Structure 1
Amino acid sequence: MTTATKPGETIKAAVIGLGWAGQQHMDAYATLPGVELVAIAGMEDGPRAELGEKYGVTRLYRDWHELVEDGGIDVVSVAVPTFLHAPIAVGALEAGIHVLSEKPIARTAHEAQAMVDAAHTADRVLEVAFNHRRRGDIEALKAAIDAGQIGRPYHARAIWLRRAGIPALGSWFTNREMAGGGPLIDIGVHVLDYALHLFGEPKVTAVSAVTHSELGSRGRGGAAGNKQDVGSAYEVEDLASLLLRLEGGGSIVLETSWAAYRPAGDEFGITLYGTEGGADLRVVDYAPAGELTIFTGEGEATSDVRVAADPGRGHLAVVETFLEHVADQANWSQYDGSRALDRARVIDAAYESARRNAEVVLEPATKGA
């Protein structure tokens, strides 16, 4: 079992998962001061060896259990298919390791709750990588809202839409048991996170949702490549639309798709309506900085402003904040994954609403983030 690091000691880090997300965590641990990447785990032999050589890591594992059991790890990033998030996170926490998981926290709120409970029992940090809120344009919009430029936000339309972006037909992404759902739980969770973040973290009181599976089920809309093919049928939605009712009377319409007949490429962003103004952010095809406009003025007398934003620091900022929280030993219990659990509860409610064809009221959470 590992122990908490003392102030001034180098933090020993590990990453489980060899894909794009895992490599973002590896880059961060290799870049930031006070931390050393000492172990990597993943199923693919070739990429594991290549990444070990790239980062100078000699502790390379095919089985994450062995990485945890060998000890000598203070923090671990979990960047694997969604069905593995909960078992790996719980196992690491029980071994005394602080955990940073990729989004979504888990397939269901039940699994997410088990992760949060494990963090409390172990007295360790559990966080989830919502890197989109760390984009420069999202941060610029949040700063404008906090400065009162649009007054109180009361409604928003938040999106992430793709023309043909199913990660890979037949992969774990399209298997309901392994992924937990389609674009809503995959990319929609980012939209849910940054929308609630911009609103100031109000509680979601009710969800009304519809889901559609019209294209993926006919073999249409698949992105290039074949990530981790498991031979699955297309079992998830390819478009979801939600109406969220918020504590205090606000509302958010959230729409997300992996595949839909619309302009080519990816588009994500948010349109906000406030009591003193509004805002619109559009990001096309993962542009480092999107087009952000603040709308103000009286009636036809507009005072609209285009806001320039830097690209932000994405995963680097996420990992940096995680390490800061690990260093803040007196407050570990505050960094317990509860906010990500709240997101999971909303997504559960959305899928339940779509199944029942009715609005679902969320019960108050027992613990807030």
Structure 2
Amino acid sequence: MSDSNLSKTVPLKVGVVGVGWAGQQHIKAFSNVAGVEVVAVAGMESELLAQLQTEYNIPHGFSRWEDLLELEGLDAVSVAVPTFLHAPITIAALERGLHVLSEKPLARNGEEGAAMVAAARQAGRVLDVVFNHRRRGDVKKLKSIIDDGELGRPYYAKASWLRRRGIPTLGSWFTNPELSGGGPLADIGVHVLDYALHLLGEPKVISVSASAYSELGAQGRGGDATYIAASANNKFEVEDFASAFIRLEGGVTLVVEAGWASYRDPADLMDFRVYGTDGGAELRAAQSLQISDSGLRVFTDKEDVNADYVAEPLEDGNHQSVIDEFVAAVRSGAGVWGQYDGSVALNRALIIDACYKSALEQREVRL
């Protein structure tokens, strides 16, 4: 890629690796951005690959990601494949001078993530990771409330993503730690950790004390009813629930919970609760076939009188916002590309590493 290929009048040419749900979100979002062309897609599912090429008028299709990276004229690549492939594809793309947007988590562990960040710095290219939940309208609204000082100084927060039956394909790569890097803590917990630290202003993590459990998945529960443990491609070798007590700089405490499966309300729950010196807030997003419940409540006083209220969320961003910001970063020029080197995602990966170490060794781990 030429550093001069930044103008909106010159099409930004993008390749997408992965044709599953995440890859399809990337293709759709890139197709919505003026001046961006999805010129290549790679995936092993030949029928789906051909379908996406036809639907989005993508000229080049490959079964191998290596062949996609060889395509002349590419400017950027999206990596939307199983976690164990994030590092090799990302590093190879960066070494070819391409900008990279990777699905979460950054990598299976902090060591791989550090190699990706180093490659981005060496190449002088953008490396960004899909943290779409921090761009939700309710999260953005709460961020503005906290940043405006309405809650005073936050000192305690609790954030969760909990499911009743939400193991993503029992017996697949998701439940093999060598392929996924972990269970719900690595899969959905990384989102929870990201939006929690984002809301709190990116405080430094001092230490973690975590627990991880594998009680239901190992018995074939908590996922697709058709799962048969004896015939699965991969055994269930990750946790199905994890909890972490995280000490932050300034004496602030954060508790994170991430669960694919547990005996609880059938609705998926994503939440964030924060207590501050001048107020508190509770963000709740729950969804199932039976119920839908969401809201952002703020708890505060005005002249010693209860002044609680329900805050209206801002406009949702999600995947489209991620893609828009990635494109803007690429077009911003070499002078600012160094600000987008994957460091935030690496921070999350190192914290999750510490959580797994703490759970395994049953002790507090300092970072």
Q: TM-score range by the shorter chain?
A: over 0.9
SS of 2:70's equivalent in the other structure is: helix
Alpha-carbon offset, residue 70 of structure 1: 1.9
| Structure 2 residue aligned with 1:306 | 310
SS of 1:282's equivalent in the other structure is: strand
CA contact (8 A) 1:137 1:290 kept: no
Most deviating of 216-225 and 320-329: 216-225
2:301 equivalent to 1:297: yes
| Structure 1 residue aligned with 2:120 | 119
2:82 equivalent to 1:105: no
In the alignment, the residues of structure 2 paired with residue 300 and residue 44 of structure 1 have an alpha-carbon distance, to the nearest angstrom, of 62
| Structure 2 residue aligned with 1:183 | 184
Q: Which runs of 4+ in 1 moved over 4 A?
A: 286-289
SS of 2:166's equivalent in the other structure is: coil
Out of 212, 228, 236, which is 1:234 matched to? 236
Q: Could you say if the C-alpha distance between residues 289 and 263 of structure 1 is closer, same or farther in structure 2, counting changes exceeding 3 Å?
A: closer
Instruction: Output one character per residue of 1:239-288: Cα deviation in whole Å (capped at 9) or x when no partner.
Output: 00000110111110001100000000210110011110000001012899
Q: Could you say if the C-alpha distance between residues 106 and 51 of structure 1 is closer, same or farther in structure 2, counting changes exceeding 3 Å?
A: same
CA contact (8 A) 1:127 1:337 kept: yes
Q: Could you say if the C-alpha distance between residues 83 and 219 of structure 1 is closer, same or farther in structure 2, counting changes exceeding 3 Å?
A: same
SS of 2:44's equivalent in the other structure is: coil
In the alignment, the residues of structure 2 paired with residue 299 and residue 233 of structure 1 have an alpha-carbon distance, to the nearest angstrom, of 59
CA contact (8 A) 2:27 2:38 kept: yes
CA contact (8 A) 2:154 2:275 kept: yes
| Structure 2 residue aligned with 1:132 | 133
Q: Which amino acid aligns with 1:176?
A: P
Out of 303, 322, 325, which is 1:321 matched to? 325
Alpha-carbon offset, residue 224 of structure 1: 6.3
| Structure 1 residue aligned with 2:6 | 6
| Structure 2 residue aligned with 1:367 | none
In the alignment, the residues of structure 2 paired with residue 123 and residue 225 of structure 1 have an alpha-carbon distance, to the nearest angstrom, of 47
In the alignment, the residues of structure 2 paired with residue 250 and residue 310 of structure 1 have an alpha-carbon distance, to the nearest angstrom, of 27
SS of 1:181's equivalent in the other structure is: coil
In the alignment, the residues of structure 1 paired with residue 253 and residue 179 of structure 2 have an alpha-carbon distance, to the nearest angstrom, of 31
Instruction: Output one character per residue of 1:264-320: Cα deviation in whole Å (capped at 9) or x when no partner.
Output: 021011001111000000101289993100000179831111012145021111111
Q: Which amino acid aligns with 2:179?
A: M
SS of 1:234's equivalent in the other structure is: coil
Q: Could you say if the C-alpha distance between residues 61 and 265 of structure 1 is closer, same or farther in structure 2, counting changes exceeding 3 Å?
A: same
CA RMSD of aligned residues (A): 1.8
| Structure 2 residue aligned with 1:26 | 27
Alpha-carbon offset, residue 6 of structure 1: 3.3
| Structure 2 residue aligned with 1:75 | 76
1:31-180 equivalences under 5 Å are 31-180=32-181
Q: Which amino acid aligns with 1:40?
A: V
Alpha-carbon offset, residue 150 of structure 1: 0.7
SS of 1:248's equivalent in the other structure is: helix
In the alignment, the residues of structure 1 paired with residue 315 and residue 169 of structure 2 have an alpha-carbon distance, to the nearest angstrom, of 28
2:349 equivalent to 1:349: no
Give TM-score scaled by structure 2 length.
0.94
| Structure 2 residue aligned with 1:15 | 16
Give TM-score scaled by structure 1 length.
0.94
Instruction: Output one character per residue of 1:117-148: Cα deviation in whole Å (capped at 9) or x when no partner.
Output: 00011110000010000000100100111111
SS of 1:312's equivalent in the other structure is: coil
Q: Could you say if the C-alpha distance between residues 299 and 205 of structure 1 is closer, same or farther in structure 2, counting changes exceeding 3 Å?
A: farther
Q: Which amino acid aligns with 1:308?
A: E
CA contact (8 A) 2:286 2:293 kept: no
Q: Which amino acid aligns with 2:281?
A: A
In the alignment, the residues of structure 1 paired with residue 54 and residue 81 of structure 2 have an alpha-carbon distance, to the nearest angstrom, of 21
Q: Which amino acid aligns with 2:209?
A: S
Most deviating of 269-278 and 309-318: 309-318
| Structure 2 residue aligned with 1:259 | 261
Gapped runs of 5+ residues in structure 1? Answer: 363-369
Alpha-carbon offset, residue 101 of structure 1: 0.3
Gapped runs of 5+ residues in structure 2? Answer: none
In the alignment, the residues of structure 2 paired with residue 166 and residue 311 of structure 1 have an alpha-carbon distance, to the nearest angstrom, of 30
Q: Could you say if the C-alpha distance between residues 247 and 100 of structure 1 is closer, same or farther in structure 2, counting changes exceeding 3 Å?
A: same
In the alignment, the residues of structure 2 paired with residue 324 and residue 180 of structure 1 have an alpha-carbon distance, to the nearest angstrom, of 30
In the alignment, the residues of structure 1 paired with residue 34 and residue 321 of structure 2 have an alpha-carbon distance, to the nearest angstrom, of 13
In the alignment, the residues of structure 1 paired with residue 169 and residue 225 of structure 2 have an alpha-carbon distance, to the nearest angstrom, of 7
CA contact (8 A) 2:286 2:292 kept: no
How many residues were matched structurally? 359
